Amino acid sequence: MTAPRPAADIARDVRSGSRRAVDVVDGYLAAIADREAEVHAFNLVLAEGARERADDIDRRVAAGEDPGALAGVPVAVKDNLCTRGVPTTCSSRILEGWCPPYDATVVERLAAAGAVVVGKTNMDEFAMGSSTETSATGPTRNPWDLDRVPGGSSGGSAAAVAAGFAPLALGSDTGGSIRQPAALCGVVGLKPTYGTVSRYGLVAFASSLDQVGPFATTVADAAVLFDVIGGHDPADSTSLHRPTPRVTSVLDQGIDGMTVGVVREFLDGADADVSARIAAAAQALAAAGARVEEISVPSMRLALSAYYLIAPAEASSNLARYDGVRYGLRVDAPDTVAMNTATRSAGFGAEVKRRIMLGTYALSAGYFDAYYGQALRVRTRILEGFAEAYRRCDVLLGPTTPTTAFRLGAKVDDPLAMYLSDVCTIPTNLAGHPAVSVPFGTGDDGLPVGAQLLGPALEEGTLLRAAAVLEAAAPDDGRAPVPAARVGSGAGGAR
Amino acid sequence: MSTDWDVIIGLEVHCELKTATKLFCGCRNAFGDEPNTNVCPVCAGLPGSLPVLNRRAVELAMAIGTALHCDIRPSTFHRKNYFYPDQPKDYQISQYDEPLNADGWLELPDGTRVGIERAHMEEDTGKTTHAGTSGRIHGADYSLVDYNRAGVPLVEIVSRPDMRSAAQARAYAAELRAVLVATGASDGKMEEGSMRVDANVSVRRTADDPLGTRCEIKNLNSLRSLVRAVEYEVERQIALIEAGGTVDQQTRHWDEGTGRTETLRSKEEANDYRYFLEPDLVPLVPDPEWIAAVAETLGPLPAERRSRLAGVLSEGGDGPTEAQLDQILTVVDLGLDQLVVEAAAAGVGAPLALARTANQAATDPEAARRLDPESYVALLALEQDGSLTATQVKEVLAELLAAGGGDPAAIARAKGYEALSEDSLADTVAGVVADHAAEWERYRGGEDKLAQFFIGQVMKATRGQANGKAVVAELQRLRG
């Protein structure tokens, strides 16, 4: 059986001339016009620019050129990726109206592959959040149930793909910001190995953890997008010296003989219906020829605490530059320091301020070793824990999130509860490893459950092979795009 | 200065590296361009931009480390966090606890060895101009920032507190500058800010006492400021202690106008820089082959070049005089010693070559460094053989410097100096002697002071173009 790949099919048809890119783009723009008002997946829809671009691609096809692997494929881009001349706000007031004079490397690579950027997607402010509710432009709603959050921070990208606004999207994942919303929206989300996708032009949250990655409705499409955006970039010093990945070609190799470890610590805090789905996913992998065993990786329990020191510490430094001097918001005041303070007070939201303060404190003289230093030592322990697990297993399995999508407002005033929704995704970022979330049915509430597969560094191919097996075995009820009947009710038809 | 106190001085010297581009981006590294023209997303600190380390800057930093006898080690970059408008990212990327170069030394011309704690890499900030009466950020009407300098590569060289006087601090700074210039790493121009010196000063009653509390003095824009500021600060601290007070650890600002240091900030007001490892860069681990290749590109350093010149001076006679030692220092400091070496090798007397280089070529060292050595040697040869006078040499040299070289004989002829060949001088002297027979008889009789009379007459006849020494030589020859 060949895996479904709607985005790749569009590219194939556009390249062969059997479909016009303009028609493809118009179709998606119509879907956006239809439902964007209630979903709010985008900070900015680039309807005109997308049509012009599609037109250009059609002309090139007509002239006998090949626009590339994503010819005419609409892609939604998270609003923390720089787009030349197009506002890039990170859903923050402090960057309101700022237009970067350059494209992020991944945006350049999209263009070089013939993709069409249809808009900049909503997100938690500066990617800090797990529900897209910290956005200065208002929350994105989950297309499955408009009273529920789409997850975050790349909630706009996940919702855009889930709602059928674009077949592909780019997000960024610092502690789960691709995988968690992918799980809650019933789409595929891949967090690649740190260093395989360039961070140049990704507005930094926590530089040692941030990684750009794809959203798609299917594993095969996610693989195509990963192949397009990955590979060495001399503009990013942490980019690995490695050629463009080629995971697309290995997807159908199966998992016969692979060892899969089901991580006990990830199941501990999960809801029973979510755990049941993961057990079913494990059975599906076993049925496809994998050896499945339960495994304990105790250091995973330490990850959340370490993350909430390391990420805010880096963020407190990365976000210092928003001082009102050079770009973005400026609130005038009698002197420079007062202007800095007034600008940052008005420009940043509560969650961003909370993390800047946490991080500043963690790095302060006298506290550095007890907090930041200790967190770095824990990070090493987590790497060691994974290394030991991967001596026995090829991939690890668990839920992406402990619960299905929660209600808007449910956790927004309780930061700790919000932070806990990333408990299964954070360890991967601390290790720099890849992980993917694949839809695997629904919970008791009828909302999607994501199965998370984790692998050692640079094993995206292995991960996606296993993901393809899960995708083929998954029940149909948790898959996006969301059937039209389930959206637009405004009251969440899926309950 | 009170000489019975023990004075402890350590210097922190920032030098800008002479790379074509900045430390982390491809922007031009140039002084004096239109403000904000050498700026890109990286050095402007735009969201999403990332630094990429300049390989050439690392090589120049390693050249400095090699010249200062440092260990060149695997190193890392940190972020030094503080808010300031001229700092685009509101943090500076700097090496912190793992510097590229550590544990070296610099030998001063008097033989003193000053320890080098470290010589690490970092990026420069932009430049702020505060409009208004104060010239400082407080009370300014408005401020302008030029980011051309933001991201320019710097090496900060931190000495150990091994200097014991202002003069020694000056000698260290001067020697360090000569080394930086010799390695090609920096142009060492204090007036353009490409070399900036901060001094840490403390005093104690005797060398057996524990070290006193130090103050750091900033804004030292010349070697002269360094000496004045250190002398002032030593006096201030001694007076404070002798009056029963204590020295507070402070950063102080040298005011060139008033000749005083003033409090800039106290220890309590010091920033907490919250250093942490820069996650956008990877560790810098130069392999031994690379370090060796950089060392091989280094020419002889100032100390070696001074002893070579002293050797040239010593050939055929006594060692250099005090005055000549000063000339050697100047000539090496300005990078003009090769001119002296080549002239001496071509047969020009070393003392003459040294004196002309230190006194005349040194008036325009930049042009002199570009000067074709052959034309310079040819010019000195003309003075040596009496064809040109010292005054004429000066005139011809000015033209050679302006043109970067040329034929000194042709320039002399064009200036009408050609009548001064040995033959024509002999003719002129013979004519003067014939015209003043009475004086000649007295001179022949042993009245040597009349030589001055004859020189004057010859000068008159040649409109000042004759060489006094050559005239005397001819008179003596005629006298027999």
Mean of pLDDT values over A114-134: 98
List the single residue in A200, A236, A364 with the smallest CB-CB distance to B272: A364
pLDDT at A490 over 60: no
Task: Tell me the shortest Cα–Cα distance from B148 to chain A, in angstroms.
Answer: 14
pLDDT digits (tens, 9 = 90+) for A455-478: 999 999 999 999 999 999 999 888
Domain A6-300+379-486 has CATH 3.90.1300.10: yes
Q: What does pLDDT average to over chain A? A: 95
Alpha helices in B86-222 (DSSP H): 166-183
Catalytic residue from among A154, A177, A275, A421? A177
pLDDT digits (tens, 9 = 90+) for B402-451: 988 889 988 988 887 765 566 778 888 888 898 998 999 999 888 888 88
Task: Tell me the shortest Cα–Cα distance from B282 to chain A, in angstroms.
Answer: 7
List the single residue in B51, B90, B138 with the smallest CB-CB distance to A320: B90
pLDDT at A405 over 90: yes
On chain B, the residues whose CB falls within 8 A of the CB of A84 are none
List the single residue in A203, A314, A325 with the smallest CB-CB distance to B48: A203
pLDDT at B465 over 80: no
Put simply, the answer to whether A320 touches B280 (Cβ < 8 Å) is: no
Q: What is the number of CB-based contacts under 8 A between chain A and chain B?
A: 100
Pick from A460-464, B108-112, B382-386: least confident: B382-386
pLDDT at A214 over 60: yes
On chain B, the residues whose CB falls within 8 A of the CB of A81 are 48
Domain boundaries, chain B: 11-205+267-296, 300-418, 422-479
Put simply, the answer to whether A320 touches B53 (Cβ < 8 Å) is: no
pLDDT at B22 over 50: yes
Mutate to test the interface with A, among B25, B36, B42, B49 (most CBs of A within 10 A): B49
pLDDT at A491 over 90: no
Question: Mind spelling out the 3-state secondary structure of chain A?
Answer: CCCCCHHHHHHHHHHHCCCCHHHHHHHHHHHHHHHHHHHCCEEEECHHHHHHHHHHHHHHHHCCCCCCCCCCCEEEEECCECECCECCCCCCHHHCCCCCCCCCHHHHHHHHCCCEEEEEECCCHHHCCCCCCCCCCCCCCECCECCECCCCCCHHHHHHHHCCCCCEEEEECCCCCCHHHHHHHCCEEEECCCCCECCCCECCCCCCCCCEEEEECCHHHHHHHHHHHECCCCCCCCCCCCCCCCCHHHHHHCCCCCEEEEEHHHHHCCCHHHHHHHHHHHHHHHHCCCEEEEECCHHHHHHHHHHHHHHHHHHHHHHHHCCCCCCCCCCCCCCHHHHHHHHHHHHCCHHHHHHHHHHHHHHCCCCCHHHHHHHHHHHHHHHHHHHHHHHHCCEEEEECCCCCCCECCCCCCCHHHHHHCCCCCHHHHHHCCCEEEEEEEECCCCCEEEEEEECCCCCHHHHHHHHHHHHHHCCHHHCCCCCHHHCCCCCCCCC
Put simply, the answer to whether A320 touches B46 (Cβ < 8 Å) is: no
Task: Tell me the shortest Cα–Cα distance from B86 to chain A, in angstroms.
Answer: 9
pLDDT of residue B176: 97
Told to judge if A130 belongs to the known catalytic residues of this protein, a careful annotator would answer no
Put simply, the answer to whether B50 touches A236 (Cβ < 8 Å) is: yes
Catalytic residue from among A78, A120, A191, A411? A78
pLDDT of residue A7: 97
- CATH 3.90.1300.10 residue ranges of chain A are 6-300+379-486
Told to judge if A411 belongs to the known catalytic residues of this protein, a careful annotator would answer no
d(CA A321, CA B147): 14
pLDDT of residue B422: 66
Q: What is the dihedral of CA B389, B391, B393, B399, to 10 degrees?
A: -150
Put simply, the answer to whether B48 touches A238 (Cβ < 8 Å) is: no
pLDDT of residue A392: 96
The residue of chain B with its CA nearest to that of A209 is B279
Mean of pLDDT values over B341-354: 90
Mean of pLDDT values over A181-190: 98
Put simply, the answer to whether B282 touches A238 (Cβ < 8 Å) is: yes
Task: With H, G, I as helix, E, B as strand and everything else as coil, classify residue B13.
Answer: strand
Architecture of domain B422-479: Orthogonal Bundle (1.10)
The residue of chain B with its CA nearest to that of A88 is B47
Task: Tell me the shortest Cα–Cα distance from B21 to chain A, in angstroms.
Answer: 15
Put simply, the answer to whether B79 touches A317 (Cβ < 8 Å) is: yes
- Percent pLDDT > 70 in chain A is 97
The residue of chain B with its CA nearest to that of A81 is B48
Catalytic residue from among A153, A172, A239, A421? A153
Put simply, the answer to whether A208 touches B279 (Cβ < 8 Å) is: yes
pLDDT digits (tens, 9 = 90+) for B295-325: 999 989 999 999 899 988 887 677 788 888 8
pLDDT of residue B270: 79
pLDDT of residue B192: 86
Put simply, the answer to whether A235 touches B44 (Cβ < 8 Å) is: no
List the single residue in B89, B276, B282 with the smallest CB-CB distance to A372: B276
Confidence of residue A494 (pLDDT cuts 50, 70, 90): very low
Told to judge if A153 belongs to the known catalytic residues of this protein, a careful annotator would answer yes
Put simply, the answer to whether A321 touches B79 (Cβ < 8 Å) is: no
On chain B, the residues whose CB falls within 8 A of the CB of A98 are 47
pLDDT at A300 over 90: yes
d(CA A346, CA A331): 8
On chain A, the residues whose CB falls within 8 A of the CB of B285 are none
List the single residue in A203, A323, A336 with the smallest CB-CB distance to B137: A336
Mutate to test the interface with B, among A317, A339, A376 (most CBs of B within 10 A): A317
Put simply, the answer to whether A90 touches B85 (Cβ < 8 Å) is: no
Mean of pLDDT values over B164-184: 95
Pick from B13-22, B172-181, B273-282, B346-355: least confident: B346-355
pLDDT digits (tens, 9 = 90+) for A226-235: 999 999 999 9
Q: Rank B14-18, B125-129, B207-211, B435-439 by mean pLDDT and report only the highest.
A: B14-18
On chain A, the residues whose CB falls within 8 A of the CB of B81 are 316-317, 320, 363
Pick from A17-31, A147-161, B90-104, B378-392: least confident: B378-392
Alpha helices in A336-434 (DSSP H): 336-347, 350-363, 374-392, 415-420, 426-431
The residue of chain B with its CA nearest to that of A208 is B279
On chain A, the residues whose CB falls within 8 A of the CB of B138 are 335
pLDDT at A2 over 70: no
pLDDT at B49 over 60: yes
Task: With H, G, I as helix, E, B as strand and everything else as coil, classify residue A462.
Answer: helix
